[in-house]
Structure 1
Amino acid sequence: MTSLQIDSVTIRGHELSILDITTVNRCLVTLFILLAASYPIYSLYLHPLRTYPGPKLSAITRMPYWIACLKGDQVRWLAKLHSQYGPVVRFGPDDLSYTDAQAWRDICLVPKGKKENLKEVGFHAPSANGVPNIVCQNDLAHHARLRRALLPAFSERALKAQEPLLQKYADLAITKARQATQLDMSKLMNFATFDIMADFAFGESLHMLERGQYSDWVAKVFNAIRILPLVQMIEFYPLLKKIFALIEPKAVTKMRHEHFDHTVTRVNRRLNQGSEKQDLWDFILESETLTLKEMHVNAELFMAAGTETTASLLTGLTHYLMANRDKMKILTDEIRTRFTCRGEITLENVAPLRYLNACIREGMRVYPPVPSGLPRIVAEGGNSILGKWVPEGTRVSVHQYSAYHSPDNFKNPDKFAPERWLGDPEYEDDVRDVHQPFSAGTRNCLGINLAWHEMRLMLAKLVYEFDIESDAGPDWLDQNVYVIWDRKPLICRFKDAAPRE
């Protein structure tokens, strides 16, 4: 047997010894170490955002943010950072969070000559058919087309025609509360808002109020919401996204497609069969500008965005009214002295009730339906925010919970005080225009009018019909957030109000 000793290798005509290769390897390792060490130095001392306050670790890596999101602790985490660092916080290498009112205007409005800061698409779950809904549509022309087609369905004139639908489900919620005498307000409001939106968006109810239980479809919506932070993290890192695409469990893939197929089936049925009453699709079809796939993805959006947020506000507001009985008495007196029977409680008649409106607005402040920030990407060339230039590609947002609970913006920020919206001198220095629960600008919430009608009508009818009680304490508010609140049950007792003379 002969032995062969290889002590050199030829590369492109050049002979390298084993010693040379070892040296090259050492150089590569050293270079990698230097690069790894240089990134923190760059992020802390050379990065364009280096002058913004925030934790040093967060300036280097986004992991503290992801950990907080996955734990459902993002709102508490960022609120603590704002309390420590002030109205602007750098919470990731390329992430800024604001609590100043001017930030809404600088981030969301588009004055002449300024490029729009577009939505961060990765923050929202990707659509099942690959077509962006109106929230994720960043092409300006297509977004304008979608908004023109959808906005008429949410106009005051169109919603007035939907009053029988809203009255139907508000009355059904009253019936269920009377029959049960005690139930979970959180579930009751979810049942009502999902039934309303399904009827509005598909022309058929989910019958959850009647049956007193979630449909399988809605249960999947809640499961999807709770894993949204994980989806966001996967979407954020291209390599992680590719890996997950290879290993995604079949059950997860099946769940996503089944949920979307449910939407497709209902939309197609409504389009094929038509409807005797005017609904969302009459306006959309009249515009003749949406493709069928766009109809599908936007219908799915309405069922997710136009339901749970309204239910959250009504549940949270009920808790605050239970905890502040003096405020509840003022609201009760306003409603019961204004109306002599339930039939008088109409959209038109409840709209001017000052204390009712103030309670709802204050509820959206102390318990905002979307407590997180909804990030935008700073446009090409950069933009000025709060008088300071922010480079392109930076993710920026107003963190709603932190902004609304900041003592810089509101006196006694954790106190439930509807009077602050009614000109009470005690709160004259409040920065009320920081309160933008439906966002701002041309990309604000389409359903703002519908949400206000639902909230006013449902709350007015419940307060008119019942003396409501709950034993939930302050710890009810200790909730996780996965973009929206992961609400605890709010068990309420419903006693028929005393007959009015």
Structure 2
Amino acid sequence: MYVQPPQAFPALMSFLGILAAGAFTYVIYQYVFSPLAAFPGPLVAKFTKIWRAYGMYKGTWHRDLVDLHRKYGPVVRIGPNELSVGDPEAFRQIYRASKAFPKGACYSVIQGTRPFDLANERNEKIHGAQRRLVARPYSMDSTKRFEPQIDVLLDTLLRQLDGFAKTSQVFDLGFWIQLYAFDVIGTVSFSKPFGFVSSGSDNAIFERIQKAMDSAAWLMHARWFFKLHQNVIMPVFGNWLALNDRHGYFFQFSKNEVEKRKGQPGKDIVGQLFQAQAVGGQPNDLAITFMMTTNVFAGSDTTAIAMRAIFFNLLQNPSVLMKLRADLHKQCSGSSSGRISSNEAESSPYLQAVIYEGLRIFPSVAFVLDRDVPPEGMTIRGRYIPGGTVVGTSPWVIHRVPEIWGSDVEEFRPERWLDEERIGRFFFAFGGGTRTCIGRHISWLEMEKLIAALVMRYDFELADDAKIIEECGRAMLSALVFLKGLRVKISPRQVD
């Protein structure tokens, strides 16, 4: 006996057929007819952004990108409409100072609804106006005014480390470096450290920042889920994303500090911004708070990671460490006591080369800095790239291009910075073009002072259990390449 199928069955089959045909057409288009079809890359990446989001989620993205470029060449397709660029000429075009390529849509996840977000604002005109409002306190001249306060903080750190030196106790130098870096932000932003170095504790803030960075890393490439969470899930079930700490916990933390400083004179960053506000009415209190939130949230980890990497490479290369000490003795009159001035640090070419090389071989940023190709398009290696395509470079990729750095790209060799000036055009640890990190002068000052102080004051020995997690093959998933486990034993240096 024939049973007539439900009326809905043919409709369902038709729908599935249309869906299958649409999927097939999409795959064929991306693989054959897309403007990016000619660019090599992993097969899955040609069809879905999920591949890239998963790459960030699993935590080895920075190394994976380097391997992809070694396999596929200077330009790799990492998404349906996304290219990772390791070509020197194209890199210079994308991150140029004039006619800048705007930031990609992934940055809108980090910005959220903030009207003032210098690091993540995508509109170049708005970004330019915002940067002009706050640039002066971050200039080189203003940064040097913070030096006496940083010296006081550095003395506090050295007293703490002297205790480890006297007892020959193994300790985590990286953790103390991170305490110092975070206290520097308090010092330059609010005229007082947060007390982390003096107490030897971070009050669990570091873990909170790292979890937020972890969250940001993959959400930047899963914007649909971020919007779903913010608009549907969070109003009903509450917040499930650590990234929201940037707009919640750390915003409130910064707001409290800004309110304490309002109406009080000072040469710190907040004080200078309030002075600008008194003269011209801008930036307003909210913009100042947002700027300080960025300082607190993102101003310390990148520098701390860099200093950890520099020290690890110095201890792995004793000849480089000896050469650095010799150069510091030659250039810096007070180096044996541990503290030198910024002018003395700048006069040590090898110290500067060591810092550059440390940031080259181990940049803090793990991801591709996405940019949108302008409407007129661009050409990479003879191939036209249409407007709207997302292109970008990771510091890990551009810092390992043999065409720029030579065949020894994986070697920690500061001398390369003394031999060749042109390579500076491809230094990408602080970003590039109009989006170069506004806090780079502060970061550089605290790095050169701390590195010189520790190198001249102590002898170091890596502990038997010293590990940097990334070098062990298990990176902390994040937008940054966090380092852990720089365990050392130190002793006072005997200086002739």
TM-score of the aligned structures, taking structure 1 as reference length: 0.87
Q: Which residue of 1 aligns with 2:128?
A: 144
Contact 2:254–2:293, Cα closer than 8 Å, also in 1? yes
Q: Which residue of 2 aligns with 1:184?
A: 172
Match of 2:309 among 313, 316, 319: 316
Residue 85 of structure 2 corresponds to residue 98 of structure 1: yes
Unaligned ranges ≥5, structure 2: none
Distance 2:289 2:398 in 1: 35
Moved more, 195-204 or 134-143: 134-143
- 1:109, CA displacement in angstroms? 1.8
Contact 1:101–1:433, Cα closer than 8 Å, also in 2? no
Q: Which residue of 2 aligns with 1:457?
A: 449
Q: Which residue of 1 aligns with 2:414?
A: 418
Residue 349 of structure 2 corresponds to residue 354 of structure 1: yes
The structure with the largest alpha-carbon Rg is 1
Q: Which residue of 1 aligns with 2:490?
A: 494
Contact 2:459–2:490, Cα closer than 8 Å, also in 1? yes
Contact 1:199–1:205, Cα closer than 8 Å, also in 2? yes
Residue 386 of structure 2 corresponds to residue 396 of structure 1: no
Contact 1:106–1:385, Cα closer than 8 Å, also in 2? no
Residue 20 of structure 2 corresponds to residue 33 of structure 1: yes
Paired residues, number: 475
Q: Which residue of 2 aligns with 1:210?
A: 198
Match of 1:326 among 301, 319, 323: 319
Contact 1:234–1:244, Cα closer than 8 Å, also in 2? no
Distance 1:330 1:480 in 2: 32
Moved more, 473-482 or 441-450: 473-482
Distance 1:379 1:436 in 2: 22
Which string of whole-angstrom CA distances, capped at 9 and with x for unpartnered residues, describes residues 24-66 of structure 1?
4433321111001211111111111111111121101122222
Q: Which residue of 2 aligns with 1:405?
A: 400
Match of 1:295 among 266, 288, 291: 288
Contact 2:369–2:392, Cα closer than 8 Å, also in 1? yes
Moved more, 259-268 or 404-413: 404-413
Query: Taking structure 1 as reference, are residues 269 and 389 closer, same or farther at Cα in structure 2, changes over 3 Å only?
Result: farther
Distance 2:81 2:132 in 1: 33
Contact 2:254–2:296, Cα closer than 8 Å, also in 1? no
Match of 2:432 among 440, 463, 467: 440
Q: Which residue of 2 aligns with 1:109?
A: 96
Query: Taking structure 1 as reference, are residues 140 and 252 closer, same or farther at Cα in structure 2, changes over 3 Å only?
Result: closer
Contact 1:185–1:490, Cα closer than 8 Å, also in 2? yes
- Structure-to-structure mapping, 1:59-70, within 5 angstroms: 59-70=46-57
Q: Which residue of 1 aligns with 2:271?
A: 282
- 1:313, CA displacement in angstroms? 0.7
Distance 1:101 1:417 in 2: 21
Contact 2:469–2:476, Cα closer than 8 Å, also in 1? no
- 1:232, CA displacement in angstroms? 2.2
Distance 1:218 1:458 in 2: 20
Where 1:137 maps in the other structure, the secondary structure is: coil
Query: Taking structure 1 as reference, are residues 348 and 129 closer, same or farther at Cα in structure 2, changes over 3 Å only?
Result: same
Contact 1:149–1:283, Cα closer than 8 Å, also in 2? no
Contact 1:128–1:257, Cα closer than 8 Å, also in 2? no
Which string of whole-angstrom CA distances, capped at 9 and with x for unpartnered residues, describes residues 59-115 of structure 1?
01122222221111111221111110011100111111112222332112254xx5x
- 1:475, CA displacement in angstroms? 7.0
Unaligned ranges ≥5, structure 1: 1-6, 8-16
Q: Which residue of 2 aligns with 1:131?
A: 115
Q: Which residue of 2 aligns with 1:3?
A: none
Letter in 2 for 1:366: I
Identity of aligned residues (%): 22
